[in-house]
A and B are shown apart, each in its own frame.
Chain A
C-alpha cells in the first residue's frame, strides 16, 4: 500500500515538473519580447480602470509595458512637472500657472475618455427616477432646499410622493476630479453657486458631511434615508444606484448614460475652434441628448520629448488609445470621444516632436 502511494506521488511530481517547465518556457519567451517597463505614468485615479485595461491590452499587442501609478491628479501633475514620469494624467485641466512651472516645456492635454457625475439619493418608497434642474441641485447642495418635499423639488416631480424629511447632503471629503466636475457644472449653470461656493477639486461646502471616495459617499447615502450625494457614473452603474435625471440646456431631462455623455462631448465639440488646446470644460453642453454633468479626463505629455525612443512610444500609445482604446471604453462605463473629435486629437498628437525632430 505504502509503496503504491510513493509511486503515485512520484508520478505526480514528474507530471508537475513537466507542467512547470513548459510554463516557464512560455513565460520567459514573452518576457524577452517585452523587456522591462518602457514607460511610466502617474496621476488621476478616476480613469484608472480603463487605463489599466488599455495598458495591458497594449502590452499584449505591441509589447510596450506601461507602469501607471494612480496617485491622484495633483501628484500626476507634480511628477510630470518634475519630469519624473513620461506622462501624467489629470481629471481637471492644468492652469496656466501650473503649466508655466513644468520643467520640460509646453504640455499637451490629450483628452482620452469622458466621465460623468450622477446625483444619487436614498428615498424609500420613491421608485421613479427623480427629476432635477440645475437650480434644484444647487439649492440642495447649498442648503437652501432643506426638505425633500420643498417646492423646488416637488414642482419638478408631479405624481411622486416625496417625504417631508430633512435632506442630508453627502459630498466628497478628499480632493477629487469628481468634485471638480460637479462644482464646475453648478458654477456654469447656476450663477448663485458660482458666487457662493465656486468650483474646485475641494470646495467649502455650505452643508452636509464629507466622505472619502465614491464608495464612502454611496455607502453613506445607501445607509441614510433622506441622503443625497454625487458619484461617478461608472461607479453608480456598476452598483445599480438610483440616479436622478438632470435637465440639460435644451430643457430635456436626461438620465446619465455612456451615450448621453458622448453626446455632450459632440455638442461641445461643434463650437470648438480648430486651434483648441483641449483644456475645455463640457459641462452644461448644448444638445437635446446631452447629459450636462460630464467632463474629459486628460493624459498630459510634453510637446518636446527629450528622449526620442520613449517619445515615439508615447506617441504610438496615444494613437492606439485614440483609435483601438476608445472602442473598449464603454465596456467599463466610460464614454468614448466622439469619433471626429478623436481624429482631431490625433492631429494634435502628431505635433509632438523628439529633440526638435518629428
Chain B
C-alpha cells in the first residue's frame, strides 16, 4: 500500500515538475524573444529617427552634403566631404598600422609565447580596449603630438627626404591625419588581436601536427596551416577594429586638428564625421545646421552598415573558399 501511494505521489510530483518546466519554458521563450526583438527594434528606431531628422538637409542640399568641401555654417553651406574623407583615411591608416601588429601579437601569443608570458601579455593588450578614449586623447595631446612634431615628422620629411612627396608635404604642427591614424591604430589593436588570438588558439591540434608531419618548419606551419584556417575569424576581428576606428570621436577630435579640408598630406590637419558632430552639435541652433549634422550622422551610420556588410561577405566568402 505504502509503496503504491508513494508511486502515485511520485507520478504526481513528476507531472507537476513537467508542467512547471513547461510554464518555465514558455516564460523563458517569451522573455528571450522579447529581448531578441528589442535590440533590432532599437536599431531600426535609431535609424528612422536619424534619417527623419536628416531629411530636411538631404532634401534641401541633396548630395552636396557628401560631395561639397565647403562647410561654412555662417553662410549656410554644409559640405562634409572633408569629414567623410577624414573618417575613411584615418581609419585606413589605423588598420594599416594595427593589423600587422595585432596579428603579430596574436601569433606570438598563440604559437610562440611561453605559457607564463601568455596570460600577462594577453591581459595587457586586452587592457588597451578598457582605456577611456578621452585618456587616449590626452595622451595624444601631451605625448604623441610633441613626439610626432619633434622627431617623427622631421624624420619622414627631412631625413628620408619625403617632404617633396605630397604625402609628407607642408608644415608639421603635430595635430594631423597621421596623429589620428596612430591613436586609432592603438585603439583598434586590442580588438583585432583578441579575436585573432582566440581563433588561432582554436585551430585544431591535428592541423598543426599534419603540417609538421609533412616536414614543415614552425613558421611554414603557421603560415600555411594555422593562419589560413583562422583567416575568416581574423578578418572578422579586423572589421571589428575598423568599426571601432570609424566611430571613435573624442580621441580623434583631440588630435586631428579639426580642419575641414581635403589634403593629401598625412602631416596636415583633417576632420572626421564623428568629430564634426561632436564639435558643433551642442551650439547648433539653426534648423538647417542641426539637420545637416544629423545628415552627417546618417552617412556615418550608412558607412558602418556597409563596413559590417562587407565584413560578413568577406568572412562568408573566405570560409566558402576553404570549404571547397
Interface set of A (CB-CB < 8 Å, partner B): 71-75, 77-78, 94, 98, 166, 168, 173-177, 197-205, 208-212, 216, 219-220, 223-224, 227
B253–A212 touching, CB < 8 Å: yes
Closest A residue to B260 by beta carbon equals A204
B279–A212 touching, CB < 8 Å: yes
Select the residue from B71, B77, B141, B283 with max chain A CB neighbours within 10 A.
B283
Question: Please, which residues of chain B bring their CB within 8 A of the CB of A199?
Answer: 74
Our pick among A73, A177, A223 for the contact of B174 (Cβ within 8 Å) is A223
For residue B266, CB closer than 8 A to chain A, the reply is: no
For residue B190, CB closer than 8 A to chain A, the reply is: no
Q: In the complex, A201 Cα to B283 Cα: how many Å?
A: 7
B279–A175 touching, CB < 8 Å: yes
Question: Please, which residues of chain A bring their CB within 8 A of the CB of B171?
Answer: 166, 168
- Supplied contacts A173-B279, A223-B141, 11 more A-B pairs, CB within 8 Å: A72-B282, A72-B283, A175-B73, A197-B74, A204-B74, A204-B77, A209-B175, A209-B269, A212-B279, A220-B141, A220-B174
Question: Please, which residues of chain A bring their CB within 8 A of the CB of B269?
Answer: 209-210
Q: A72-B282, A174-B283, A204-B74 are in contact. Are A224 and B174 (CB under 8 A)?
A: yes
Q: A168-B173, A204-B71, A223-B174 are in contact. Are A216 and B141 (CB under 8 A)?
A: yes
What are 24 A-B interface contacts by the 8 Å CB criterion? A74-B283, A74-B285, A77-B285, A78-B285, A174-B278, A174-B283, A175-B280, A175-B282, A175-B284, A197-B74, A199-B74, A201-B283, A204-B73, A204-B74, A208-B259, A209-B175, A209-B259, A209-B269, A210-B269, A212-B278, A220-B141, A223-B174, A224-B174, A227-B173
Question: Please, which residues of chain B bring their CB within 8 A of the CB of A176?
Answer: 283
How many Å from the CB of A220 to the closest CB on chain B?
7
For residue B56, CB closer than 8 A to chain A, the reply is: no
Select the residue from A173, A174, A200, A209 with max chain B CB neighbours within 10 A.
A173
A224–B149 touching, CB < 8 Å: yes
A210–B257 touching, CB < 8 Å: yes
Q: A77-B285, A173-B253, A209-B173 are in contact. Are A200 and B259 (CB under 8 A)?
A: no
Q: In the complex, A94 Cα to B285 Cα: how many Å?
A: 9
For residue B72, CB closer than 8 A to chain A, the reply is: yes
Question: Please, which residues of chain B bring their CB within 8 A of the CB of A74?
Answer: 281-285
For residue B232, CB closer than 8 A to chain A, the reply is: no
Q: In the complex, A204 Cα to B253 Cα: how many Å?
A: 17
Our pick among A75, A203, A209, A224 for the contact of B72 (Cβ within 8 Å) is A203
> Digit string of B243-276 for contact with A (CB within 8 Å is 1, else 0)?
0000000000110011110000000010000010
> Digit string of B281-298 for contact with A (CB within 8 Å is 1, else 0)?
111110000000000000
How many Å from the CB of B268 to the closest CB on chain A?
9
A198–B75 touching, CB < 8 Å: yes
Closest A residue to B285 by beta carbon equals A74
How many Å from the CB of B142 to the closest CB on chain A?
8
Closest B residue to A97 by beta carbon equals B286
Select the residue from B73, B173, B254 with max chain A CB neighbours within 10 A.
B173
How many Å from the CB of A93 to the closest CB on chain B?
11
Q: In the complex, A234 Cα to B72 Cα: how many Å?
A: 29
Closest B residue to A200 by beta carbon equals B74
